[in-house]
Amino acid sequence: MSHDDWPLWEVFVRSRRGLSHTHAGSLHAPDAELALRNARDLYTRRAEGVSIWVVPSAAVAASSPDEKDAFFDPAADKPYRHPTFYDIPEGVRHL
Amino acid sequence: MTAAGTTAPAHAGAPTGAFGAAGPSGDASASHAESGAGRTADLATGPAADLQAGFEAEFEAAIAADERIEPRDWMPDDYRATLVRQMAQHAHSEIIGMQPEANWITRAPSLRRKAILMAKVQDEAGHGLYLYSAAETLGVSRGELLDKLHSGRQRYSSIFNYPSLTWADVGAIGWLVDGAAITNQVPLCRCSYGPYARAMVRVCKEESFHQRQGYELLLALSQGTEAQHAMAQDAVDRWWWPSLMMFGPPDAESAHSDRSMAWKIKRHSNDELRRRFVDICVPQAESLGLTLPDPALAWNEERGSHDFGPIDWQEFREVLRGNGPCNDRRLAQRRRAHEEGAWVREAAAAHAVRRGTAPHRQGATARPAAVPEPTVSAAVPAAAPGSGGGNDAEGTAI
Amino acid sequence: MTADHGPGASAATGPANGPANGTASRANDPGIGARSGVARPTGEPRLTGAPATAALALGDDALVLSHRLAEWAGHAPVLEEEVALANIALDLLGQARLLLSLAGDEDELAYLREERAFRNVQLVEQPNGDFAVTIARQLYFSVHQELLYTRLAAGGGPFAAVAAKAVKEVAYHRDHAEQWTLRLGDGTEESHRRMSAAVNGLWRFTGELFQPLEGLGLDPAAPAAMEAEWLERIASVLGRATLSVPDGPRHGAWAAGAGRQGLHTEPFGRMLAEMQHLHRSHPGASW
């Protein structure tokens, strides 16, 4: 790894107002200012965005596949969190 | 959770974007490499071997169910190596592929054509970036991959070792070369590896204009003056056969095909895609008023597709081996741009350090900085010359 | 070719710009010819006289600089910069097409005028050099262009519509140039040396930017005001980049004038030869 390799950044783009930023990809840049500009040129050159976030890849904490079961399985058996769990008599409205 | 190695970016799903996978998926390659391939060694013996078998079973089940493999999932070393080789080659093809067309930007014969060509060559740089970005989720850095390209240890599609001699070549490249690439790439949008598939969705969406502009360019020439028509026919004559070679060697000789198909990295065989491409091109050539340079080309009623003449695989192998008309030139230009740009990249890096605006260096230049080196290097074998693989063998040019 | 040569006449200096010229044409698709035109705002009449000459001057600036930037394709110092430079070049080409179309047929004007009929400032035709030279050229030109287009957009004259669209693009070009000037000036020893040489080397082409240009519809005091503001802004960027403001003259010593009068530097002729060769080799052809 030579000193002219720039750090990696993750790019998040808000495609239009009212939507949240979603991950678009990554790129290399020496600092946040250029990362934002590179992201603008690379990921929004077809007018795909109205707002951009860049985050150093090294700063993202991610859940690990080892913890997948512990993280996500317990949520799978709680159907009472979903509206479809409940039976409502026909004819009852606005509920 | 934030130590280098266990964290890396979540390429969280971007339902509306090019990487649009549904749902969150940690694409964090560095950690992935550690938790996947890195773990293999530890688990090779003893009770851990059971765990290993469990991972394998989970992977196979995901493939069988047509689910996407994401960076932090366990995957076999060979799967990783195959993907890295194919994605790197694909990315390299994009950036080397800029050259034959950039060759005509400064001579484009109308301002409209000039704008189109500039935008297209720019897209190719962008596509290279998407693909390097996707490859980086597997624990290799772009810097490493570029080094391998520059030193000839990784290849790019051999089609770009042919010269673009006239303006009509810009049209022929768009119509035939991009056409062949799209035929290859559309199935890759369903590739089993999530980041690659998402990158391809974006690439395919953007490339739809590439082929059309080439076709339109050729149509204008074909319907133009005698000289323009002749220029168009000459370009098609020169690009037709190399375009067919882009699908890679015949199925019987394709080194990596079977395994890639089994892993759903690849969805159709080289010959199948090649036939599909020929069938698409024949009526398009007719509409253009140009002929394809193959006297054996004929509709085969029985098979429901076209028969075509033999491909000169000797030429293919020679070009692959480095003896094409432009191999040296393409690589030399690429290397020169990289070397001449070194002071610029260094300056920006130095500036960021001095101003304290560089993100922290740990794992900074790439996700894999956190990955045990041996794992990563072992996973990225150089294309073996003569294996029939490496380059167009996977049929992923452009 | 004289300084006040109108654009219409200039366009005719090419060897052949008429229709078909007797060349056997297979053209039977009217769409192709029609689509080669540019999006000239429909209903807007072509400019004549001084405004037409001004449209040529600004259009040529954009056309020539776009061409120079496009020469970077495949040679940029980093892939991200391939995309950035191409974006800027495409913006400029778009501006050029709008501006030239105000004065005549964009392709006739771009491809069939000879060197002496081009009205661009000499700064934009200067060869790319290393990345520092390209950035210095971008800095000098984009700061000027932003100041000018902001005024044109606000002025309501013949260029207000084009300028209103372009000024947003140009603000980004200026920002890109500034960002890089800071990094190269205050980067490594080598980058500082190169950037310093670049800002000094191009300094003598910057005076021409503020020669009053008839037909723009600007206040007569505008050029002097823009020049003062330009100097201030350039000094600020260079200062932050740890670079000195060059102290040499900002004009060439040659009394004959410069780009706006159709007098160019030697590399420009070669650039045009390359740019125009194919178009001129097929007189009357459609592309």
Which two tokens mark C234?
Answer: 């350039």
Chain B residues near residue A45 by CB distance under 8 angstroms: 122, 126
Considering only alpha carbons, which residue of chain A is nearest residue C88?
A41
Q: Are A38 and C175 in contact (CB < 8 Å)?
A: no
Detail the DSSP E strand segments found in chain B. Answer: 298-300, 305-307
Q: Judge contact between C177 and C185, C-beta under 8 A.
A: no
Of A6, A30, A41, the CB nearest to C83: A41
Q: What is the largest CA-CA distance in chain B?
A: 76
* B98 shares contact with chain C (CB less than 8 Å): yes
Bridge partners (DSSP) of residue A55 are: A10
For residue A84, pLDDT over 90 is answered with no
**Greater pLDDT, B350 or B372:** B350
How far is it, in rounded angstroms, from Cα B88 to Cα C210?
Answer: 49
CA dist B293 → B218, B290, C4 (Å):
16, 9, 54
Site from A6, A11, A33, A37 to mutate, C interface, most C CB atoms within 10 angstroms:
A37
Which residues numbered 216-255 in B keep a CB inside 8 Å of some CB on C? 217, 219-229
Chain B residues near residue C275 by CB distance under 8 angstroms: 106-107
Handedness of CA C243, C249, C253, C257 (dihedral sign): positive
Task: Tally A–B CB contacts below 8 A.
Answer: 152
Chain A residues near residue B357 by CB distance under 8 angstroms: 30-33
| pLDDT tens-digit series, residues C87-120 | 999 999 999 999 999 999 999 999 999 999 999 9
For residue B395, pLDDT over 80 is answered with no
How far is it, in rounded angstroms, from Cα B181 to Cα B173?
Answer: 10
Q: Which of C41-45, C114-118, C277-281 has the lowest mean pLDDT?
A: C41-45
Considering only alpha carbons, which residue of chain A is nearest residue C85?
A41
Specify the DSSP element, H or E, that contains A26.
strand A22-28
How far is it, in rounded angstroms, from Cα B56 to Cα B63?
Answer: 11
Which residues numbered 22-81 in C keep a CB inside 8 Å of some CB on B? 23-29, 32, 35-36, 38, 63, 67, 70-71, 73-81
Site from B129, B132, B137, B202 to mutate, A interface, most A CB atoms within 10 angstroms:
B129
Mean pLDDT of B79-101: 95
Chain B residues near residue C107 by CB distance under 8 angstroms: 110-111
**Greater pLDDT, A86 or B163:** B163
Bridge partners (DSSP) of residue A54 are: A11
Q: Judge contact between B52 and B35, C-beta under 8 A.
A: no
Chain C residues near residue B352 by CB distance under 8 angstroms: 183
Q: Judge contact between C106 and B111, C-beta under 8 A.
A: yes
Amino acid occupying residue A56: P
Mean pLDDT of C234-246: 98
At A2 the pLDDT is 56
Domains of chain C, by residue range, sit at 47-247
Considering only alpha carbons, which residue of chain A is nearest residue B69?
A65
Q: What is the largest CA-CA distance in chain C?
A: 62
Cα angle: C243, vertex C244, C247; to 5 degrees: 150
* C278 shares contact with chain B (CB less than 8 Å): yes
Q: Are B224 and C27 in contact (CB < 8 Å)?
A: yes
Task: Tally A–C CB contacts below 8 A.
Answer: 25
Q: Judge contact between C162 and C47, C-beta under 8 A.
A: no
Q: Judge contact between C38 and C98, C-beta under 8 A.
A: yes
How far is it, in rounded angstroms, from Cα C17 to Cα B138?
Answer: 56
What share of chain B in percent tops pLDDT 90?
Answer: 65
Cα angle: B244, vertex B246, B252; to 5 degrees: 85
Q: Are A31 and B348 in contact (CB < 8 Å)?
A: yes
- 3-state class (DSSP) for residue C24: coil
Chain B residues near residue C131 by CB distance under 8 angstroms: 341, 344
How far is it, in rounded angstroms, from Cα A86 to Cα B58?
Answer: 34
At which residue do the structure tokens 């979603």 appear? A22
How far is it, in rounded angstroms, from Cα B256 to Cα B249?
Answer: 11
How far is it, in rounded angstroms, from Cα C14 to Cα C19?
Answer: 13
Residues 6+ apart with CB under 8 A from C115: C262, C264, C268, C269, C272
- 3-state class (DSSP) for residue B339: helix
Which residues numbered 24-53 in B keep a CB inside 8 Å of some CB on A? 26, 28, 31-32, 35
Report the interhelical angle of B327-355 vs C160-185 (nearest 10°).
80
Handedness of CA C42, C43, C45, C51 (dihedral sign): negative
Q: Judge contact between B359 and A26, C-beta under 8 A.
A: no
Bridge partners (DSSP) of residue A25 are: A11
Domains of chain A, by residue range, sit at 3-63
Site from B233, B344, B353, B365 to mutate, C interface, most C CB atoms within 10 angstroms:
B344
Q: What is C47-247's CATH number?
A: 1.20.1260.10
Q: Which of A64-73, B260-269, B362-371, C60-69 has the lowest mean pLDDT?
A: B362-371
Q: Count CB-CB contacts under 10 A for residue B90.
A: 30
CA distance from start to end of chain A:
59
Specify the DSSP element, H or E, that contains A52.
strand A51-56
Reply yes or no on domain A3-63 having CATH 3.10.20.520. Answer: yes
In which band, very low, low, confident or very high, does the pLDDT at C42 lie, cut at 50, 70 and 90? low
Closest CA to B216 of C245, C134, C286: C286
* B68 shares contact with chain A (CB less than 8 Å): no
Of A15, A62, A64, the CB nearest to B16: A15
At C37 the pLDDT is 43
For residue C15, pLDDT over 90 is answered with no
How far is it, in rounded angstroms, from Cα B173 to Cα B116?
Answer: 14
Partners of chain A (3+ Cβ pairs below 8 A): B, C
* B74 shares contact with chain A (CB less than 8 Å): yes
Chain B residues near residue C277 by CB distance under 8 angstroms: 107
Q: Judge contact between B194 and B18, C-beta under 8 A.
A: no
At C174 the pLDDT is 98
Please give the distance of CA A70 from its chain centroid, rounded to a whole number: 21
How far is it, in rounded angstroms, from Cα C66 to Cα C56?
Answer: 15
Q: How far is B263 from chain A (nearest CA, A)?
A: 20
How far is it, in rounded angstroms, from Cα B28 to Cα C206?
Answer: 49
Chain B residues near residue A57 by CB distance under 8 angstroms: 8-9, 363, 367
Mean pLDDT of B2-20: 34
| Alpha helix stretches (DSSP H) within chain C | 7-11, 30-35, 49-70, 79-103, 106-111, 122-125, 131-155, 160-185, 189-202, 222-240, 266-281
pTM for this entry: 0.84
Q: Are C93 and B224 in contact (CB < 8 Å)?
A: no
At A3 the pLDDT is 61
Q: Which of A13-17, B374-378, C4-8, C189-193 has the lowest mean pLDDT?
A: B374-378
- Produce one character per residue of C7-33: b if its CB has 16 or more CB atoms within 10 Å, e if not: beebbeebeebeeeeebebebeeeebe
Which two tokens mark C236?
Answer: 């600020």
Considering only alpha carbons, which residue of chain C is nearest residue A33?
C179
The torsion angles phi and psi of B101, rounded to 5 degrees, stand at -85, -40
Closest CA to B166 of B101, B114, B116: B101
How far is it, in rounded angstroms, from Cα B144 to Cα B84?
Answer: 11
Q: Are C78 and A28 in contact (CB < 8 Å)?
A: yes
Q: How far is C231 from chain B (nearest CA, A)?
A: 25
Residues 6+ apart with CB under 8 A from B193: B68, B69, B83, B265
Q: Are A59 and B349 in contact (CB < 8 Å)?
A: no
Considering only alpha carbons, which residue of chain C is nearest residue B289?
C26
Chain C residues near residue B337 by CB distance under 8 angstroms: 74-77
Q: Are C176 and A37 in contact (CB < 8 Å)?
A: yes
At B176 the pLDDT is 97
Q: Judge contact between A65 and A71, C-beta under 8 A.
A: no
How far is it, in rounded angstroms, from Cα B115 to Cα C98?
Answer: 13
How far is it, in rounded angstroms, from Cα C15 to Cα B169?
Answer: 26
For residue B235, pLDDT over 80 is answered with yes
Q: How far is C174 from chain A (nearest CA, A)?
A: 12
Mean pLDDT of C134-157: 96
**Greater pLDDT, C3 or C135:** C135
How far is it, in rounded angstroms, from Cα A55 to Cα B37?
Answer: 26
Closest CA to B199 of B125, B129, B300: B129
Q: How far is B70 from chain A (nearest CA, A)?
A: 10
**What integer best gives the mean pLDDT of chain B?**
82
Please give the distance of CA B321 from its chain centroid, rounded to a whole number: 19
How far is it, in rounded angstroms, from Cα A39 to Cα A43?
Answer: 5
Compute chain A's Rg from CA coordinates. Answer: 21
Which two tokens mark C158?
Answer: 């013949």
At B383 the pLDDT is 38
Q: Judge contact between B166 and B235, C-beta under 8 A.
A: yes
At B259 the pLDDT is 82
How far is it, in rounded angstroms, from Cα C83 to Cα A40?
Answer: 10
